[in-house]
Amino acid sequence: MLLAVKTAHTAVWLTVEVAFGVVLYDGVTRRRGRRTALAAAVVGGESLIYLANGARCPMTSLAESLGADKGSVTDIFLPRWIARNLPILHLPLVVAALWLHGRRRWTTRGQALSQTQHRPTTAPAGIGNGDPIRGSGPTPT
């Protein structure tokens, strides 16, 4: 049973890592869509579960109850150093993902504001529209 938990935990970890890779890739390439939203939901859901459990994966407790040694290193098929430092390794990546997607949002917002501020307006009557009084017809010479 412990082998099944470790295998499942590794599969969940791999799924979250792939989703996180999608979020980062889409941030770098300035893409956003359903794929990004789904990947972000997977990463966000996993993060909420992890934090709600006191920054400890619930599968670790399950593995320990089945006889695994204490600690997150023994309940997943990863090298010891990587497993022990996953939260520390992910923090800068989370910040980078937030910045990349925030940059896109702020850039898009700035462009939209810029376009509305510099939108050409129709010229008032008499200015470049022909008749100086009514704004139509040929301009007198």
Model pLDDT, residue 7: 87
pLDDT top residue among 94 and 76: 94
Residue 23, pLDDT score: 94
106 vs 103: which has the higher pLDDT:
103
pLDDT grade for 94, boundaries at 50, 70 and 90: confident
User: Over 70: is that where the pLDDT of 108 sits?
Assistant: no
pLDDT digits (tens, 9 = 90+) for 39-93: 999 999 998 998 998 888 888 888 888 877 765 555 677 787 887 788 888 888 8
Close Cβ partners of 17 (under 8 Å, ≥ 6 residues apart): none
Rounded CA separation 28/104 (Å) = 9
DSSP string, 81-132: HHHHHHHHHHHHHHHHHHHHHHHHHHHHHHHHHHHHHT---PPPTTSSSSST
The residue type found at 126 is G
pLDDT for the residue numbered 21: 95
